[in-house]
Chains A and B, each alone.
Chain A
Amino acid sequence: MKLIDINVMLNHPVYQKDTTPDAIAKIIDADGVNAAVVSSLKPLASLDFDAGNKAASEFVKKDPKKLFGFAIVNPIKLNQLETAMKILPFKGVRLSPNFMWIEYSEAMVPLIEFAAKQKMAIHVSVTPERPSNMKMCAEIAERFPNTPVIMGQIWTPYTWVEASALSRGYKNIFLEVGFATTKSIEDAVEVAGASKLIFGSGFPNMRPKAAVEIVKLASISESDRDLIFWKNASSLLGISV
Chain B
Amino acid sequence: MIIDDHTHFPISDPIWPDEWRKADFMIKSMDQWGIDKSIVVCTDPINGGDYKVGNQKVYDVVKQYPDRLIGFAWIHPTQSEGIEVALQEARRCVKERGFKGLKLHPCTEMYSYASKEYCYPIIEESIKLQVPVFCHTGDPATCPYSGSVLIADLADRYPDAKLILGHLGHRRWNDAIWAVKKRDNLMLDTSFGQTSAITVAVRTLGADRIMMGSDWPINSFGASTGHMKGAFIRDEERQKLMGDNAAEYLRLK
Interface residue? B175 (CB, 8 A): yes
**B141 x A131 contact (CB < 8 A):** no
Additional A-B contact list (13), CB under 8 Å, known A132-B175, A161-B144, A169-B152 = A103-B174, A130-B174, A131-B174, A132-B147, A134-B147, A134-B178, A139-B178, A158-B144, A158-B147, A159-B140, A161-B150, A162-B150, A166-B153
Interface residue? B149 (CB, 8 A): yes
Closest to A104 in B: B174
Chain B residues with Cβ below 8 Å from A157 are 144
Contacts A165-B114, A166-B153 given: A135-B175 contact, CB under 8 Å? Answer: yes
Chain A residues with Cβ below 8 Å from B144 are 156-158, 161
Chain A residues with Cβ below 8 Å from B173 are 130
Chain B residues with Cβ below 8 Å from A135 are 174-175, 177-178
Q: CB-CB contacts of B108-129 with A at 8 A, as 1s and 0s?
A: 0000101000000000000000
Q: In the complex the two chains form, what is the Cα distance from A191 to B153 in whole Å?
A: 11
Q: In the complex the two chains form, what is the Cα distance from A162 to B153 in whole Å?
A: 9
Q: CB-CB contacts of B160-189 with A at 8 A, as 1s and 0s?
A: 000000000001111101100010000000
Chain B residues with Cβ below 8 Å from A158 are 140-141, 144-145, 147
Chain B residues with Cβ below 8 Å from A165 are 114, 149-150, 152-153
Interface size on A, residues (CB 8 A): 22
Q: In the complex the two chains form, what is the Cα distance from A168 to B156 in whole Å?
A: 11
**B140 x A134 contact (CB < 8 A):** no
Q: CB-CB contacts of A89-111 with B at 8 A, as 1s and 0s?
A: 00000000000000100000000
Q: In the complex the two chains form, what is the Cα distance from A165 to B156 in whole Å?
A: 11
Chain B residues with Cβ below 8 Å from A21 are none
Interface residue? B36 (CB, 8 A): no
Q: In the complex the two chains form, what is the Cα distance from A129 to B173 in whole Å?
A: 10
Which of B114, B139, B175, B178 makes the CB contact (< 8 A) with A191? B114
Nearest Cβ in chain B — how far from A112, in angstroms? 16
Question: What is the interface of chain A mostly: helix, strand, loop, or mixed?
Answer: helix
Interface size on B, residues (CB 8 A): 21
Interface positions, chain B 131-160, Cβ under 8 Å from A, are: 139-141, 144-145, 147, 149-150, 152-153, 156
Chain A residues with Cβ below 8 Å from B149 are 132, 134, 162-163, 165-166
List 12 contacting pairs A-B, 8 Å CB cutoff, sorted by A: A128-B140, A128-B141, A129-B172, A138-B178, A158-B147, A161-B114, A161-B144, A161-B145, A165-B149, A165-B152, A169-B152, A191-B114
**B140 x A162 contact (CB < 8 A):** yes
Q: CB-CB contacts of A134-162 with B at 8 A, as 1s and 0s?
A: 11001100000000000000001111011
Closest to B141 in A: A128
Chain B residues with Cβ below 8 Å from A132 are 139, 147, 149, 172, 174-175
Q: In the complex the two chains form, what is the Cα distance from A130 to B147 in whole Å?
A: 11
Chain B residues with Cβ below 8 Å from A139 are 178
Nearest Cβ in chain A — how far from B205, in angstroms? 13
Contacts A135-B175, A162-B150, A169-B156 given: A130-B112 contact, CB under 8 Å? Answer: no
Q: In the complex the two chains form, what is the Cα distance from A135 to B149 in whole Å?
A: 8
Which of A130, A161, A163, A168 makes the CB contact (< 8 A) with B139? A130
Contacts A135-B178, A138-B178 given: A129-B139 contact, CB under 8 Å? Answer: yes
Closest to A165 in B: B153
Chain B residues with Cβ below 8 Å from A163 are 149
A-B pairs, 8 with minimum CB distance: A158-B144, A158-B140, A128-B141, A165-B153, A135-B178, A128-B140, A162-B149, A130-B171
Q: In the complex the two chains form, what is the Cα distance from A134 to B175 in whole Å?
A: 7
Interface positions, chain B 62-80, Cβ under 8 Å from A, are: none
Nearest Cβ in chain B — how far from A173, in angstroms? 11
Nearest Cβ in chain B — how far from A137, in angstroms? 10
Closest to B112 in A: A161
Nearest Cβ in chain A — how far from B161, in angstroms? 16
**B147 x A162 contact (CB < 8 A):** yes
Nearest Cβ in chain B — how far from A183, in angstroms? 12
Chain B residues with Cβ below 8 Å from A156 are 140-141, 144
**A129 x B174 contact (CB < 8 A):** no
Chain A residues with Cβ below 8 Å from B140 are 128, 156, 158-159, 161-162
Nearest Cβ in chain A — how far from B185, in angstroms? 15
Chain B residues with Cβ below 8 Å from A162 are 140, 147, 149-150
Q: In the complex the two chains form, what is the Cα distance from A189 to B20 in whole Å?
A: 47
Q: In the complex the two chains form, what is the Cα distance from A46 to B178 in whole Å?
A: 32
Q: In the complex the two chains form, what is the Cα distance from A157 to B140 in whole Å?
A: 9
Closest to A169 in B: B156
Nearest Cβ in chain A — how far from B136, in angstroms? 14
